[in-house]
């Protein structure tokens, strides 16, 4: 069985699956992170939205195992929005980890579908 995006994000945040008081907050943050991933060119071209526990990681990343770090990236960004750390040291560490995932995911995307930002125009 594929892993639910909402359920697994709640678990890694330390929230019991059956506790739903924060689901709206967590879903809002998850969808914000998916919007960022879409800007990076990761995930479905039309975007992606999680509305409940039925959406799975496979729905978002498909079968591309190179994108497994999306799960950690989503957790880091949701954690920073939902439950930011009390110390600036931990906040900086989580931000650096998230930025590293952004860079790596962008590198994967560029390897698959790089577009020359300065194409040579041929005028006939």
49-87 pLDDT per residue, tens: 999 999 999 999 988 899 999 999 999 999 999 999 999
Q: Check whether 1 has a pLDDT greater than 50.
A: no
Answer whether residue 121 is part of any domain: no
Contacts of 15 (CB under 8 A, 6+ apart): 22, 26
Are residues 109 and 64 in contact, defined by beta-carbon separation less than 8 angstroms? no
Q: What are phi and psi of 4, to 5 degrees?
A: -70, 135
Q: How many separate domains does the chain show?
A: 1
Q: Check whether 30 has a pLDDT greater than 60.
A: yes
Answer whether residue 82 is part of any domain: yes
Answer whether residue 85 is part of any domain: yes
Tell me the residue range of the domain where 101 lies. Answer: 5-113
Residue 36 CA to residue 85 CA, distance in Å, equals 21
Helix (H, G, I), strand (E, B) or coil at 52: coil
Residue 103 CA to residue 112 CA, distance in Å, equals 14
Answer whether residue 120 is part of any domain: no
The pTM (predicted TM-score) of the whole model is 0.86
Answer whether residue 67 is part of any domain: yes
Query: In Å, how far are 50, 117, 120 from 77, measured between CA atoms?
Result: 15, 28, 38
Residue 85 CA to residue 21 CA, distance in Å, equals 21
Task: For tokens 């020359």, name the residue.
Answer: 116
Answer whether residue 123 is part of any domain: no
């Amino acid at each position: 069985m594929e892993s639910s995006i909402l359920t697994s994000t709640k678990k890694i945040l330390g929230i019991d699956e059956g506790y739903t008081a924060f689901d709206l907050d967590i879903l809002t943050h998850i969808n914000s992170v998916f919007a960022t991933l879409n800007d990076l060119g990761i995930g479905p071209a039309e975007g992606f939205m999680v509305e409940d526990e039925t959406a799975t990681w496979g729905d978002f990343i498909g079968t591309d195992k190179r994108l497994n770090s999306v799960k950690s990236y989503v957790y880091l960004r949701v954690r920073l929005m939902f439950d930011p750390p009390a110390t600036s040291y931990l906040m900086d560490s989580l931000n650096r980890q998230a930025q590293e995932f952004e860079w790596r995911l962008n590198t994967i995307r560029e390897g698959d579908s790089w577009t020359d930002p300065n194409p040579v125009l041929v005028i006939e």
